[in-house]
Amino acid sequence: MSGARDSERGKLFTRRTALLAGGQAVLTVALAGRMYYLQVIEAERYGILADENRISMRLLPPPRGLITDRFGREMAVNRQNFRVLVVREQTPDVGQTLDALGMVIPLTDADKRRIRREIERKRAFMPVQVKENLTWEEMAQIQINAPDLPGVVIDEGLTRFYPYAERGAQVLGYVSAVSERDLTGEALLELPGFRIGKAGIEKVYDLALRGKGGNFKVEVNALGRVIRELERKEGTPGVDLTLTIDLELQQFAVDQIGEESAAAVVMDVHTGEVLVMASTPTFDPNAFNRGLTGDEWNALVNNERSPLRNKCISAQFPPGSTFKTMVAIAALEAGVITPEQTVFCPGHVDLGSHRFHCWKKTGHGTVGMVEALQHSCDVYFYEVARRVGIDRIAEVAKRFGLGAPLGVDLPNEVGGVIPDRAWKRAFNGQPWLPGETLNAGIGQGYVLSTPLQLAVMACRLANGGVAVRPRLTREQVTDNGLKPVGDPAYANMGFNPKSLAIVRRGMYEVVNNPQGTAHRAAFDLNGMKMAGKTGSSQVRRITMKERETTGVIKNEALPWKERDHALFIAFAPADAPRYATCVVVEHGGGGSAVAAPIASEILKETLRRDPSRQRPPPPTEGQA
């Protein structure tokens, strides 16, 4: 019995041994097959994956293109940027390190909270930016105190800088950090600290100024920590852009305006180049690059004088008596009046039950067109506007550049309003009224224009009716870089030269006749004189009670927002025009007393400098 049992146990052991051996053989074959698959069939694929795990490709931000004025003076540049970073794995206590760093450079509680949030989101070896745009002194202090600041490192890069800060802020605009709505999928936009244009020229030409990113290869370990740099390919810098602005003349204009809320434009009447585009009050664009505090932002947006707005293109004003030039040309072209025909001004005119007043209470007597422009007689232009009609006035004004955006290379340009019968019907469904024609005849009522539009109007009056358009850059941006732009050929608008000559003569008398409304602003610079037209536009209705009892309240006695706007358009030299200007002082009062003297000084300085006849520097290599 015992032998039988031993025999059975031996057979069972043999079967188990065979099964185990068979299983081992199957596993060995499977393992060999898998190894063959991985090492032979999939060798190339896994080799690539291994290299990608070992080598990391990273982006390099390109230097942003420079912006210069017409003579090569740098208005927007890049300068050295020191940043302080902290690496969590290199410091035993982040909180203590930040407290110690706060003794060297100012760090707010908000800064510390932001840094801790970023540290929690990133891996321990990844650096987190603490602060950028450090001064040399701050950077040096951190280096001196390095033994007491474990995990704190200094990084160096480039940042945007505006050397003249406030002098051209609304034209240049500014750069700022990329927001979520700015993301387009472009990898550059996701780089920490990358800046893009958010306003002005910086925004319009952002893609060209931005350039193309480079890259560098680094060897990393399994955790992603950098071991060494393998290869570096620098990016393509952004293009350098040359503006038509004369920076020194721009500075002069801003100084002349002073503390006023105002806009000033100077243009070449033949080429359309904008030499000055000044808007005040202004702001420091460098503040947007470093990051505004909440108080700084609120101070800008709540300022009733709107420093962030470029008033030259984004503010609309009733043109006041400067618009009388358009009414005069419309009347001459339509043949409803000749320059010699006169109108009697007793100080007012009645239309139905409504009385329309002249600015001069006692009236101007009998005046022809030149005298009416010289004295800025409202009654004369009430009558002329009534004869010619709003539709003809509107057609002429639009041809002179009013009533629609001019297409200047800046964002947020508005079009103004040049009303006619069809416009009012579309605007509020009401018919046009005769009294509205009279109001439009002196640049009031629905009529609105921007300072740039009025400057263009002055250019087209001065150059004999050539439809120049404003230009802010001296190159055209193409896919291959920059292409210099010569003086464009503008079409003649087809007005009778005699009509334009009559209006220019009236503008000459405005300034140079002792009885002209702007005679106090006259100058004679080596035989060169100025021609111009004053304007004052009301922002409130003057009541009959004010006129009959107390008299019209002086602007100085009114709250700032209820004062008249002061306007002046001009060109010089009067006998051979080269430059035109428009100055609008918001709620400044009378055009003759406030705007004309400013424009006179700016135009005199323009003639002294004569920037259009100075030779700009040749284009740099690769930009021709």
Exactly one of 261, 279, 314, 321 is catalytic; name it. 321
Determine whether 261 is an active site residue: no
What are the tokens at 148? Answer: 């007491």
Distances (CA, A) of 445 to 319, 377, 397: 10, 17, 15
| Ranges assigned E (strand) in 226-339 | 226-233, 241-242, 262-268, 274-280
What are the tokens at 381? Answer: 């232009």
Residues of the chain with pLDDT under 50: 48-49, 52, 223-224, 547, 550, 620-624
Tokens 């629609």 -> residue: 404
Largest Cα–Cα distance of the chain, in whole Å?
Answer: 154
- The predicted pLDDT at position 618 comes to 55
Q: How distant is the alpha carbon of residue 341 from its chain centre?
A: 47
Q: Rounded distance, CA 240 to CA 244, Å? A: 13
- The predicted pLDDT at position 116 comes to 87
- The predicted pLDDT at position 157 comes to 78
Q: Rounded distance, CA 103 to CA 40, Å? A: 61
pTM value is 0.83
- The predicted pLDDT at position 12 comes to 58
